[in-house]
Every structure is written in structure tokens, then in C-alpha cells.
Structure 1
Amino acid sequence: MHRHLISAAVLALVGFSCAPVFANSAVTSTPQTQTTTQLPRTVSPTHYALSLTPNAAAATFSANIKISINVLKPTSSITLNASDLAFQQVLLSSAHGKAALKASKISVNAEEETATFHFAHPIAKGSYTLDIAYTGVIGTQANGLFSVDYDTAAGHKRAIYTQFENSDARRLIPSWDEPAYKATFALEVTVPSTQMAVSNMPITSKTDLPDGRSVINFGMTPKMSTYLLFFGLGDFERATDSIDGTEVGVITQKGSLSQAAFPLAASKAILHEYNDYFGVRFPLPKLDNVAAPGSSQFFSAMENWGAIFTFEHGMLLDPSISTQGDKEVSFIIVAHEMAHQWFGDLVTMRWWDDLWLNEGFASWMENRMTERLHPEWNTKLGVVDVHESAMGLDSLSTTHPIVQRIDTVEQASQAFDEITYSKGESVIHMLEGYVGSDAWRDGVRIYMKAHAYSNTTSDDFWHSIEKATNKPISEIAHDFTLQPGIPMIKMGEVSCANGTTSVNLTQAEFSRDHLDKKSLTWHVPVTAQVLGAAPAQTLVADGKGTIQLAGCGPVLINAGQTGYFRTLYTPTQFAALAANFATITPIDQLGLMSDAWSLGLAGLQPMSDFLDLANVTPLTADPQIWNRIANTYSSIHQAYQADPLRQQQFDKFAIARLTPVMAKISWNAHADDTSAIINLRQQLISTLSQLNDPATINEANRRYAAPASDPTAFPVELRKVIMSVIALHADAATWEKLHAAAQTEKSAMMKDQLFYLIATSKDPALATRALEIAISDEPGATNSAGMISVVAHLHPDLAFDFAIAHLAQVEKLVDASSRSRYLPRVASGSAEPAMVDKLNAYANAHLTPSALGSTKTAIASINYHIKVRSQRLPAIDAWLAAHK
């Protein structure tokens, strides 16, 4: 599942940065020896044969499923997972030809999402077939079997899809809906003949019926977990190609197939690379990417084996609006989900405790593959952003280990966070650097071959890496995966003699909100170098270490930024690095800035250090350095929101600093623009707009009004960012025009974006109008919650209060298993003390104790924002006063 949540994706489209979404609280975890299950261990499935008849118009379905099972212990009842299903009949038959035994009683536990079939006579050990007739509902949110309504030039349409991760297969099929209960699946569907049906495997037969329907059978899947089953139905088109004996395809709504050329080509290239890297060929005959209208608050894509599901805004490229950034997002989503075809699908974590075995590795592979196949995008600098994404959550007292204890469905849902994804990726990147990329790949190949079609824990993977490398990395890996938090490497005494520099290092722990906590200890691989000399590596263990470096001069810690830790320099060493900042490699410039900013916010380093680095950054610096500076200026602007006068003073400075950069790259594209320049242009326009720069706002307005007389004023690459400026600063009349455009737009993708745009207004009255529209039928059921989240970026208190006042309506817009994290996320951007009480009141009234992780983290974030406002902004005020 891809972590780019709709709120983050939308804010990127309209030019806003988005804080990380946080989840579960800290839990001490240890490796498991027995598979966790919430079901009795008396029965296990081996095969599901599902016959499904959906009725999209009525939002219902009927089904019959025959499940081949093994009864492991004598029992008089069978319990499996089921949610919102109504059972008509349950029969149990043996392989010996005896008469089928009818369930004497069916009991459903809605809270535990189980159904129990009781039988009048005990069932002996052996093999049986469970034959179940039942009905269910087609929902409007992206979980279980759900529908998406959308408009086209040909009229209103409805498509249906499935989304099962983490625990929603039970909404379509009564099943052992846990990852360790792997089985094969055969799907038969009865559907309208005019529509396209798609599943994990190719169609093996199609029989037309007299009533305009067809019975379609798909091939039997390999052994896999329930959450990977997929079914889609609608007015679709499919583009195909092939590579290494596998047919690859992209499936879109009719009329959108021309937008699929890039992801199809990407799929072909990526599959070939993965076949080689993993050492195991993709085992299915076809691999589709299915693009759907709509959105979700909690995911943008899902790795169903052989039938990846992606919301079209994340994959398709519309030539009238798509940007370079959209192309890069499309590629990394495809790369991420295709990596899951091995990490997650072929080899699956045993239980949700080890979810990172899926998500951390897919995130790591997406960036590895992007760097390999598109080096011109220069994405290798993105490793620093990945670290920052994880550290935003990991530095709060409510963090949790990568491997965490999961007991409930809600906890599993909350586990899809930046610790699982970004910290998991960061640890992999660090360990690969420690053992070497070739040896790491060899370990991955050993792991894949040893555990194909089965389930694993993290230790299974570490053993494979150790087998390939002969290096005992488990100790390092356990420190970083079984403990929460971030090591902080503190530079001590530095001495140079005979051309060799010796540096003493100590290890503490970095925290933003618990500075007095006793530090944990890690085995930390540290790479360092004297500027301009060769790097060296050491392992800091038991809280201390020493490293010997070639040459004499300023010392850079975490050279290459492979390590997952913060670096605290002595003032003298930091000053020496700052004096040589322009000569440092871009990736280490980013790392130095990121550490200075975060340590400054935490009170461990002067706030002025980051501001000084940004102030000496030359115009010729890598575009991604300026992108980081612009993003940070935007964050500072937001922190001043409660004090308009001080905010204006900062904005004046930031505008003056960024304007020369904007003038250098200009609004107009040039033939030699790199992708980084193209992305920076949009970032600068967006940031200067947020800083209320009159020149930027006026130019955006001019270009927005100019297409009739000057088509070149509104180029494709700038349309989204220009529209974001217009929407942010819209008056009532302009806002109404945008709203009207959203209502009449026939392109589903553009319609969705317009509704999100009207939610970005900085005017509280217009933001309230957007909230009212969000709970209406206008945006579409899967987009409404996203609109509320977009409003919350600038108006978190307004959005939260509105959601609480309309709680019954809002809860219908969010899938049930994710509600416990939705409203805390809406509130998490607040810096008002009253919000803490509001969140606690909501949690006490509506959440169970096991579902409080997101609330606790949101409260920690709010308290941190309050601290920044009161304790850190004065230091920025002082720096500004000294630099007038």
C-alpha cells in the first residue's frame, strides 16, 4: 500500500507542504516465535472458490463460497472473520461422500468481526468443504467491496472495486482474514456483459447469459493472503505490453487510456529490473495497474497480486494538467506497488507486527528504482527527506518501534505510518550501506527463494542477510527496529596529527518533547569525513566511539546521509562547516540543514544556525537545497499564524531571500531546465504566494486571466500552481467561479482537484463554505473527507470543530477501521491549548483504549507546536532584527 495519503497528495498539487501523519504510541516489542491470530487455531483454509454477483445499482451483492479447509482438532464449531454479511445457509461436507452437514446455528459477533458456524455433531480431524451462501453491501468508502461514482462526457458512471488491506476482505468473503492463513483463490463473477471485469489472474472463460449478463471465470491464484485478492468492474479500457513473458497492463475508465502511456512503459521497465534484482521471476501470467477515479484519506495505491489498484490522480498523466512532479509521483507509486509483488505478496509478513517488511522495503525499492531508471531526476537527494519524514514522528514521546505489537484491527490500521514506511526505508538504506549493495542484494535473493509463498518475521530476513554477508547485523537491526526513537551522535574532541584527524563521538537520543528522558543505546554505523578527503566508517556502540579520518580540516558526520541519526556538532565545528557550506555536496548540505533546523526547534542548537546556512546559500546551489529552504520558510510563516504583525516581518525577509532565486529561474520554462528546476519553479511560486508576495500573486492573476489573449501565459506545467495561488487568495466572487467549475467539470480527475482547490482558501468564511460542501453529495463520497483535511491545513481548529459538530455525517465519509486516526489528524496541526481538551473529550466519548494511539500523537504534536510558538519564535525574531 502506498503511503502518499490524499491530503498530502492534494496539498502537493496546490502548493502546500504537509506535516507527517502520526499513529501508534510507543510499545516495546520482541521477536515472535508463534504466529499471532485472533481466531481459533482449530481450522485452516487451503482454497476459496467464490461465486459473486454484484448489483452496483442497488449497492448489494450475493455470493456463494466454497472453502476447502483442514480441521486440525476435533470441534463442534468453526469461527472465521466476517463483517456486514448476512448468511442464508452454511453446509459442511467431507471428502468421503457423506451427506453435507448443515450448520445448526450461525452466530455473528459484529464487534469482533467474526461469524461462528455451530454443528449438531462434532467434526473430526480431516479435510472438508465449507459451502456458504450469503449477501452483503457495496460501500461508498474504499474498504471491502465499494463503488465510485464519477462524471464523464458520456454521462454519470459507477464502477466497483475492492480494497482489503489490512482487514477488510471479511467484508466480501467470510474468511480467515489474517496474513498467515494463505490459500489459493478461484473467482467467478456474474456481471453486465458490457462492462470489463478484472481480478488478480487472467480470464479463463466467459459465458454470455440471455439477460445481458456474463459469467466470467478467472484463473486460480497462487497461494496468497486474503488481503491481496482483487476484483474490479466498470466501463474500463486496457492498454497492454509484455516483458520477460509477463503481460503488463494499465486499466482506466473509458476515455482515459491515452493518459496511461507513461505508467505502462514504467511498469514494463520496472518489472524487468525487479525480475533480475529479486532473483525470482514474477510468477503470475499478467500484472495490471488499475486506475480508479476518486481518492482515499489513507492510501493512494494497493499491491493486490497481479492487479495493483491506484487512484487515477496518483498514476495517470493528463496532458492538459500533469506536471513533472506528477510524472515522478506516478513512477514511484508504480515502483512501490510492483516491489510489493515480491515483498508482501510472494513473501508476506506473518502478522501485522512486521508490516514494515512489506512497506519499508517497497519504499526503499521505489527510490532505488527511481534513481536507477531516471537518474536525470536526481532523486538520490531524497534520502534526507525520507529521514525527516520518519523523524517527525520518531522524535515525539508517542513514537513506537518499527516492529510493534498489534492486537486489534484498529491498531493494524494505525500501523500504516511514517515509522513503518520511512523509518523502515531509512534503516534498510543504512544497513545496505553498512554491508554493501551487492551483498545486500544477495541476501534479498536468499530470502525470496527460501520463503516464497510463505510468511516470515523480521529475523528471517536478517538471517538471510547474514548468510549472504557473513556480517552479524542482527544486533544493529534489532536496535533500530525493536526500539523507538532516534540516536543523536554528539561530536566531542577533535584532534589532528600527521595528516590524520581523530574524533571522539558519544551517542545520546534526540527528542523534541522529552529532552530529559534517559537515552536508549544503539549500535550506530557512522560514516564521516574531513571535507575533501575520503570517508571512513565506524560503529558507535555502548554510547561512545572514535573515528580516524584522513586529512585535517572541518569534519562532516553522516557523510552521504546513509545513517538514521541526528548529528550535534560542537559550535566550533559547525561554524567551520558553515564557512565551507558552498563546497559541501548537495546531499550533505541538506543533511546539515535538516539537523540544524530540527535541533534548533528542540532547543539543542541555536535557531540561528539554520537561518545562517540558508542566508549563505548561493543562488547556484542545487535546486533541491532551495526547495528545502522554501519549505522551511513556509513552515516558519505558518508558525507565526497567530501573530500577523510578526508574520509580516518574517514574510518580508523570506520574500527578499527567495525573490532572486525566482528571478534566476523565472516563470517561463527554458529548454535546458532540469526536472529539479521545473519542480523548484512551482515550489517557489507556491511558497511566495503563501508568504503573500504581491508580485507573485499579481503575476498568477495576470496569467490566470490571460489565456484568451496569450495562451503561453498558462502553460501546462504551471496550471496547477497558478490555480493554487488563485484559490488561496480568492475573494468570494472568484471562489464561486472555482466552485461552479468544479460542479460542471466532466473529467473526474480535474473535478476532484477543483473541489480540493476550493478547500484551500485562507479566508475562514470561504473555508467554512468548503466544509459545508464537503459533507454534501457534491465532491463524491470518497473525496469529501479529503476536503475537510485540506481545510485543516490552514484552519485545523475550524475544521475539527466543524467535524465534531457534524460527526455523524463525517463518520460516514471515513471507513470504519480508520475513524480513530482521522479526526486526530485533522486536529494535529493546531497550536491552540484548547484543542488538547477537545481531542481528549472526543477520544473519551468515541474511542476504545486500544484506538488512542493517533490521539496521543496528535496531542503531542499540538503541544510541540505550542512550544515552538512560545519558545522558538523569539529567537527567530532576534535573528531577523539583527539582519535587517
Structure 2
Amino acid sequence: MGKGFYISRSAGRVGLLLGAAAAVTIVALAIVYAQEKSRNAAADDGGGVNGTTAPAFTPTPMASNDSWDQYRLPDTLRPEYYNLTLWPRLHMGQDGMYIFTGSSSAVFTCVKETDLILIHSKMLNLTTIDGHLARLTAVGLATAPAVEATWLQMETQYLVIQLSGVMTVGGSYQLDTEFQGELADDLEGFYRSEYVEDGVKRVVATTQMQPTDARKAFPCFDEPAMKAVFHVTLIHEPGTVALSNGMEKDTVNTTIEGTDVTVTSFEPTKRMSTYVLAFIVCDFAYVSAPKGSDNILIRIWARRKAIEQGQGEYAHNVTGPILKFYESYFNVTYPLSKSDQIALPDFNAGAMENWGLVTYRETALLYDPQFSSNGNKERVLTVISHELAHMWFGNLVTLRWWNDLWLNEGFASYVEYLGANHAEPTWNIKDTIVLNDVHRVFAVDALNSSHPLSSREDEINMPTDISQLFDSISYSKGASVLRMLSEFLSEPVFVKGLSTYLNQFAYSNTVYTDLWDHLQQAVDSTPSLSLPHSVNDIMNRWILQMGFPVVTIDTSTGELSQNHFLLDSESVVEKASEFNYEWYIPITWKKAGVGQEPFWLLQKTDTHSPLTATRNEWVLANLNITGYYRVNYDSDNWERLLNQLNSDHQLIPVINRAQIVDDTFNLARAKILNITLALRTTVYLSHERELMPWESAIDNLSHFFLLFDRSEVYGPMQTYFKKLITPLFSYFQRITLNWTRVPSSHTDQYNQVNAIWLACKTGLDSCQDLTKGWFKQWMQDPANNPIHPNLRTTVYCSAIAAGGAEEWDFGWEMFKNASIASEADKLRYALACSKQPWLLNRYLKYTLDPTKIRKQDVTSTIVHIARNVVGQTLAWDFVRARWESFLTQYGGSSFSFAHLISGVTKRFSSRFELQQLQQFMKDNENIGFGSGAFALEQSIASTTAKLKWLAENKETVLSWFISQSK
């Protein structure tokens, strides 16, 4: 899954799916299904149909049982293949609902003697067959045990089939089910997406199965290790398009019960997990090109208008090169005959790696140079690269259970930079992993409420347990430690191990130690490479304990030490570690600009390291931030580094200039360094023109805005930052010929945005006049937007913040009328920048109306408002007042839901706000916090740390800013 926010909800509406008409439809569907099933070579005829609608209630099981009361499937059955037919209705029924009907035959092998079948089923209304909710037949055997009882076990989401006798070990059996479900707009399982084109509302039936919602589409063994082959048939309206993982192989137009339909069947899939299964019925168009020498069909699907406008061209242009890069990188051929990628109007993940049919938010796949910024273009590139990496790492070879999700998502989050760099080599995109992932996750992993990358299998059971793993630790820390691993092994050794791993475990499942074993084999076959310990021993210290170290270097003696880095150094770490929070740390370093031989820090302290320096030398460790750790030095070395920055900053590598800023600010937040030292690292920025140091500084200065924009520190702080940013603002004004040209460098385009954002935020008159002028010009001529797409988010925000109802209402009208998703996103963000409380309150209420704000955008819109100093309290009160509703709508299994909690509390830093958080936790402990439980703990820990820090540092910070303003 991409790095966007995965949102789903748990709401039981099975009782609404009843009606006599459904039974008729199921019977008709079963007839067609029987005809289609005979076309599948692997299919077995399950006999006739005797169907009636199941009762709305859940029958009570005869007795409690450890099997059906557990969330994990027993290891008694192994699925082989499914014959699955689904018929989504794209028009609302007379009962006001959209439905789908379906039938499935799951063929499995009995691997351990049992008289019980457990198969996942969630929110499906099952039809009775011969008096039960399922029918069992033998495949290739004379008889199968009779079905004695069937019922739905709601809590654990099982269809339970109790048999009259045991099944034979090694025997194959077929389980037939027929069902009806709601094609709801809840963005999970088999759901509907709606959009308007040419004044006509259109409906898409689409899927999001990861992590545990395939069971919402059909009864299935819904665990990643339960791989099977899927034979999919879709029944749909004539004129619509049906898509699935496999290539469409047969299309028949027919009539069912007086309704004209098209029946499309697909090639059987490869053996794969249920969570990467996908099927879509839509009215979309696509862009493609003739198959290349590799005979792979590449298609980009989207709304017809989007394809006609060329918005799929960029995605199509980069997909082929990225696929070829990965084939070479992994030394494994892409195993499918096609690569479909589709942009959906309603989709809450950033993207989803369904094998052969990757689904995306529109903003993650579509690019229009007239409306899209370079940031939009880069997002399309990196998300495609991320999802295509999963075709091998995740789909071909799949982790056995979700406790190892970090390896799946962390790996894709790392190599996405390599694939993107191959497609756009001039963008220097590989280095941005430091800003996007390493620095980003440091902030979370430095809390005592963090968690290890890998958990024990028995700790991850319920769907909410699984969904909480889709966080920045799994994605960004996973990427960071894998990048470190690749660096100290060297890339050739790393990819050699990857290749043997993927080839050995193709179409099967693994645990993370399988990868370590193959990497160790690659190390052992490379005589020139020497590691101090095995790959397993080194990496277990990084994945089995939370957090990361700070390495402290005394350059006068060469002494090194490591400590668990915590933002709140006084906090108690309750999670024990068998490694005592010590790591095996690869140390890369320079002395006064000259690179030196790397070495390892293998214990708490090393008194004989080579990191000594004379009075005129500086030492710099963790070159290019390839290691997942922070660095602290003795005061003399810090002074030498500061002097170098102020005299000739370019002698220090650009990534390490960003590192110095980020490390000092965070070491100061942890009370390891004096805050004035961190603030002094920003002084040289008046001469800095590179992106990465400015991004690092702005990230940390933004933290200062959150801490101080409601206090007396804000005035002097704003004055200092205005003085700091003015040279950069003037620089870009000059090289763009007074804002009439676009900087040629990709990174300069980003830094131009930084210059305008900070200059306007700190009240630079020339900046505010510029943005208000552009926006007013657009208001006077809405058909001709004079603002370059790169600058629109910042300009819109600045102008709406400076304006009133007229500017806000204009922005809202432009948002409603935007046909380009990336343009709508820019406006949706900017509308949260208003300084008028009544406008922000109105905007918050709009999030309750899906005709105004799509459900996929609700949580991020509220977070945007909370980031506004005026809107923060409004958003917090809004969420608290509707907590149970938000929990029901979005909290069951949602990465985005965790983002909601952290977002609305990000500014919290007072004792009163800490008490509010603690009271909120107490008030809602019976309701629960869903997939946001970790985020709430982290918010409390973060607020506690900030409260302590402010008590000790606020006056010092105020004095420093006042001194710099003179």
C-alpha cells in the first residue's frame, strides 16, 4: 500500500440486505455462474442450487470453541483456488441501496484431520443452500462429510461449518456459498465510488481488500499465507468495463431475468493472497501503447475526461521504465501479462498494489502540467514506483503474517526512490529519503510510546491490531533501516541476496529472517566484505527494539558512546529490550572534509575510536545520514562545525548540512544540547540556497511556530525568521525574473515554494502583496489562473489567510468546480488557512457532508484546519464532540484515523492541553480509539515532553530571538 492514509470503517448493516428479490437474483446469478464456471479448466461442477435467503440474525453456536473464538485461522485447511462470480449493481435499488450479489466455490485441501471449516465472512448476507449457509462436496473423492450446522461468528468474522464427520487428510473439497452484500460508499472491501461527468452521476464498483476486507466481498480464507488461484467472473451492465487481476479472456452479452448484462471472465491469477485481489466495474477509458518485446500490456485507466485531457500520459511513460528497472534490480522477470493502473475518485489509501490491477487516488496517478505542480508530478512517480516494487516484494513473495508488515512496506518505501531515480535521473530524488522518511520518523521513534518494527505473531490478531501497523514506523523506519543495511553491505551484495530470496520463495510466504539468511549467503560469497556480526544479529537490534541511538563523540579523546535517544529524557520506557537498547552501529565519517574508513560501534562505549581532531579540524559523522541514528559532539567540535558553516558552508556535504540543523534542534528538544546552539545553526542559512538544509530548517522552525505562535515569543521569532528568509526570497525573485519564469532545477522549484511560504508567513510585505495580487487577479478572471501550479498551494493559503469571506467563498467555488484532483487538493488545503473562526467552523461542518467533502478527504481536511492556530481549538472540540461517530466511520482500521488524532493535537504544549488529552482518554476508554490508540499514546507522550521542555527553555529562546532582532 502507498504512503497515503488507509481508511476504512466497521459498521454492520447485514440486516438491511434482506428481501425476496435478492433470492431471485441469487438463483439467476447461480445459473449464469454455473455456465461460466464450466469454462474454467480447474473448476469442478458443484451441482444444482436450492437457495433461500438467510435469516438476518446470527445463529448461536452450539458451544464455545477455541477455533471459532480465535482471530487466526487454524492450520487444518489449505485453499487451492476459488471460482468467484460477482454482479455489482451500479444503480440504486428500490430500497435505497446499492448491492452486489455473488457466488463462490472455494476448493481446498485438508492438511490436518478436522470436522470443522472456518472461512472468513464479514457483512455478507448468505443464502441458504440445502438448508445451510454453505454446501460441501468432495473433489475427486466419493463422499464428503455432511454439513451438520452453519452459522456466522460475528466477532471473529467467520462463517462456521460444523461437519458430521472428519475430512480426509490430503483430500480436496469444494465449499459453495451464495451471498449478497451492500455496495456501500465505505471505501473498504467491494465498495462504490461516485463522480459526476458531463452532468451525469456515474458509479464505480471497486475494491480495497488490504488488510482484512476481502472477506467483505466474498467468503474466503483471508490471511496472507492462505494463497490461492482466483478464477474471477464479473457480470456488469453493457457498455461498462470490467477489470480484475488477470487479463480479460472472454466477454458474453446475455440476458438474466429480463436484464441485459455483459459477463466477463478473466484469466486465472497467479497463486496469491486475498489482500491483493481486485475487481472493478466502471465507465473508464485508458491510455496504452503497443506491447513491447516483453509482451506486457501497460494501461492507465481513469475517468474518460481525464484520459482525454492526457492526464494518464506521464504515468504511462514512467511505468514501463520502472518495471524494466525492477526486473533488472531483482533479477526476476515480471510474472504477469499486463500491468493495469487505475485512478479512482474515492480511494482512501494512497494506492494499493493489487497484482496486475493497481488502484490509486487520482492525485497519485494523474498528472496535468497545466494544473499539477512538480510536487504532484513527483508524487505520481514515487507512488507508482512504490506500488510496482510490491509486484515482486509483497505479491510474488509475501510475508507470512502482518507482524512483518514493516518489511513489506519498508522495502517498497526504500526502493521506490531507486525506481523513481531511474525514471527521472536528473531530479536527485534518492537523497530526499532523508527528509521524507528518516527525519520524519525520527520524531515518532524518539517517543517512549514508539514500538519495534517487528512484533511477535501472537501480538497481532484483531483487524485493528493489524491496521495500527500501517504507520510511519513500518513505512519510514522500515525504509531507513533497509537503506542503512544496503549501504553497509554495498548495493551489489544487497541485490544479490534479494534475488536469491525472491527466486526461492516465489508464490509462497516467508518471515523476515528468511531475507536475512539470503543476505548472509550473499555476504559469505563476497570475500572482500567483512561484518562484525551476522546480518541477523546486526539487524535484530534495529527491528526488535523500538527507537534509535544518539552517538556522542568526544573529538578530543576519540571516545564514542551510544544511548537510546528520547525526546523526553526523563520519560520511562516500559517496553523491555533483550538488547538493553544498544545497537550495532555503522560509523561513516569525515575529518575536515576528507572521507575516512568506516567502522562499527559495537558496545555502549568505545574509548579507542579514530574520531579525534586537532584544534583546526572538524569531525563529521554519519555521512549522508545513511545510518539510522543522530550524532552529538563535544562543544569544541560543534563550534568548529558552526564556524565552517558560517565561513564556507559548501565544504560540508549538503545532506549533512541538513543533518546538523535537524540533529541540533532535536538534541536541544531532548535537553542534551543548549537550544541556543541549535538556533545558531540557522544563522548561516541567509547564505544557503540548497533545498535540503532549508527543508530541514523549516521542519524544525515549523515546530517552533507550533510551540510559540500563541505566546510572547512569537513576535521576536517572526522578526528573526523574516530577516533569515528575505535573502532567499530575493534570490528567487531575481533568478525567476520577478516571478515570471520557473527555476530550471527540480529542487530549486521546491525551494522557491519554501521562500514564498516562509516570507509570507513571517509577514514580509513584498511577499504578501505578491500573493494577494495574484489571487485577486484570478478572482477577477476565474477562467485564467495566473498562478503557476508549483506555487498555488502556498499562494492560495496566503491569500485566503489575509482575506475574508469573499476570498474564501471564491476558493470554495473553485474547489467545487475543479475537475483536476490535484487542483482540488490545493484548494481544499488552502481553505483551511482562513483566520476567520466562523469560516473555519463552517468548513468543519462541511466535512460531515460527503457531497461537499469526500469521505476519503475528511480526516486530512480536519487536520489542515487544526494546523491553523485559529482553527486548532475548533478542530479539537469538533472531533471530541463527535468522537463516537468518527470512530465508527473511520476508526476500525485506518492509518488516516491515527493521523487525525496526532494532527488535531500536534500544537498541544500546555498543562491544560495535557489534562484535556488525559481526560479525553478517560472519557472514551469504554468506546475505544480503534486504530488510533498508538497515536493517542504518542500525543500524550509528545505533549508531556513539550511541556517540560518549555518550562526550561522558553525564556532562553525569547532572549535569543530578541538579541537577533536588534
TM-based fold match above 0.5? yes
What SS does structure 1 have at the residue aligned with 2:856? coil
1:839 maps to what in 2? Answer: 920
What SS does structure 1 have at the residue aligned with 2:582? coil
Given residue 233 of structure 1, which amino acid in structure 2 is its aligned partner?
Answer: V
Given residue 315 of structure 1, which amino acid in structure 2 is its aligned partner?
Answer: L
1:25 maps to what in 2? Answer: none
Match runs of 1:20-419 below 5 Å: 38-58=72-92, 59-89=98-128, 90-96=134-140, 98=142, 103-125=147-169, 126-210=171-255, 211-241=259-289, 242-243=291-292, 244-257=294-307, 258-296=310-348, 299-385=349-435, 386-405=437-456, 406-419=460-473
Deviations 1:735-780 (A, max 9, x none): 1222233344455554455344323434332211111111013223
Match runs of 1:483-502 below 5 Å: 483-494=545-556
CA RMSD of aligned residues (A): 2.4
Q: Structure 1 residues 865, 208: CA separation in 2 closer, same or farther (over 3 Å shift)?
A: farther
How far the C-alpha of 1:460 sits from its partner, in A, is 0.4
Q: Structure 1 residues 96, 339: CA separation in 2 closer, same or farther (over 3 Å shift)?
A: closer
1:433 maps to what in 2? Answer: 487
Q: Which moved more, 1:668-677 or 1:743-752?
A: 743-752
Higher relative contact order (CA closer than 8 Å, sequence separation 6+): 1
Is 1:263–1:330's contact at 8 Å kept on the other side of the alignment? yes
Match runs of 1:605-754 below 5 Å: 605-643=673-711, 645-666=712-733, 668=739, 670=741, 673-707=744-778, 713-747=786-820, 750-751=823-824, 753-754=826-827
Given residue 625 of structure 2, which amino acid in structure 1 is its aligned partner?
Answer: Q
Q: Structure 1 residues 786, 106: CA separation in 2 closer, same or farther (over 3 Å shift)?
A: farther
Of 755, 768, 791 in structure 1, the residue corresponding to residue 865 of structure 2 is 791
Is 2:145–2:166's contact at 8 Å kept on the other side of the alignment? no
Given residue 856 of structure 1, which amino acid in structure 2 is its aligned partner?
Answer: E
Distance 2:716 2:613 in 1: 44
Is 2:409–2:478's contact at 8 Å kept on the other side of the alignment? yes
Of 636, 659, 662 in structure 2, the residue corresponding to residue 591 of structure 1 is 659
Residue 560 (str. 1) matches residue 624 (str. 2): yes
Q: Which moved more, 1:104-113 or 1:221-230?
A: 104-113
Is 1:536–1:549's contact at 8 Å kept on the other side of the alignment? no
2:939 maps to what in 1? Answer: 858
1:539 maps to what in 2? Answer: 600
Q: Structure 1 residues 56, 324: CA separation in 2 closer, same or farther (over 3 Å shift)?
A: same
Q: Structure 1 residues 378, 749: CA separation in 2 closer, same or farther (over 3 Å shift)?
A: closer
Given residue 779 of structure 1, which amino acid in structure 2 is its aligned partner?
Answer: I
Distance 1:505 1:669 in 2: 52
1:18 maps to what in 2? Answer: none
Matched residue pairs, number? 846
Distance 2:956 2:433 in 1: 29
Residue 504 (str. 1) matches residue 559 (str. 2): yes
Given residue 199 of structure 1, which amino acid in structure 2 is its aligned partner?
Answer: S
Is 1:85–1:136's contact at 8 Å kept on the other side of the alignment? yes
In the superposition, the TM-score normalised over structure 2's length comes to: 0.84
How far the C-alpha of 1:872 sits from its partner, in A, is 3.4
Given residue 332 of structure 1, which amino acid in structure 2 is its aligned partner?
Answer: T
Structure 1 or 2, whichever has the larger Rg, is 2
What SS does structure 1 have at the residue aligned with 2:587? strand
1:771 maps to what in 2? Answer: 844
Deviations 1:308-341 (A, max 9, x none): 1110112211233201111111110000000011
Given residue 703 of structure 1, which amino acid in structure 2 is its aligned partner?
Answer: W
How far the C-alpha of 1:850 sits from its partner, in A, is 9.3
Is 1:641–1:647's contact at 8 Å kept on the other side of the alignment? yes
How far the C-alpha of 1:288 sits from its partner, in A, is 1.4
Distance 1:387 1:97 in 2: 57
Of 816, 823, 827 in structure 1, the residue corresponding to residue 892 of structure 2 is 816
Deviations 1:408-467 (A, max 9, x none): 211110101111111111111111111111111111111111111111111100110010
Q: Structure 1 residues 376, 745: CA separation in 2 closer, same or farther (over 3 Å shift)?
A: closer
1:867 maps to what in 2? Answer: 948
Is 2:373–2:789's contact at 8 Å kept on the other side of the alignment? yes
Is 1:153–1:746's contact at 8 Å kept on the other side of the alignment? no
Given residue 240 of structure 1, which amino acid in structure 2 is its aligned partner?
Answer: S
2:958 maps to what in 1? Answer: 877
Is 1:191–1:214's contact at 8 Å kept on the other side of the alignment? yes
Deviations 1:201-260 (A, max 9, x none): 110000012433200001111111110001122111111234433112211111111111
Gaps of 5+ in 2: 8-69, 93-97, 129-133, 525-530, 574-579
- Identical columns (%): 24
Given residue 353 of structure 1, which amino acid in structure 2 is its aligned partner?
Answer: N
How far the C-alpha of 1:549 sits from its partner, in A, is 6.2
1:17 maps to what in 2? Answer: none
Structure in which a larger fraction of residues adopt strand = 1
Given residue 605 of structure 2, which amino acid in structure 1 is its aligned partner?
Answer: K
Distance 1:37 1:108 in 2: 14
Is 1:142–1:815's contact at 8 Å kept on the other side of the alignment? no
Is 2:302–2:344's contact at 8 Å kept on the other side of the alignment? yes
In the superposition, the TM-score normalised over structure 1's length comes to: 0.91
How far the C-alpha of 1:493 sits from its partner, in A, is 4.6
What SS does structure 2 have at the residue aligned with 1:783? helix
How far the C-alpha of 1:102 sits from its partner, in A, is 6.3
Q: Structure 1 residues 268, 746: CA separation in 2 closer, same or farther (over 3 Å shift)?
A: closer
Distance 1:557 1:872 in 2: 28
Is 2:464–2:930's contact at 8 Å kept on the other side of the alignment? no
Distance 2:306 2:213 in 1: 29
Deviations 1:813-872 (A, max 9, x none): 426323973653344314122331343135413117997333212221232343344333
Distance 1:787 1:148 in 2: 19
Deviations 1:488-539 (A, max 9, x none): 11112535xxxxxxx2211111101244668621111111120221222111
Distance 2:351 2:692 in 1: 26
1:825 maps to what in 2? Answer: 902
Residue 465 (str. 1) matches residue 519 (str. 2): yes
1:527 maps to what in 2? Answer: 588
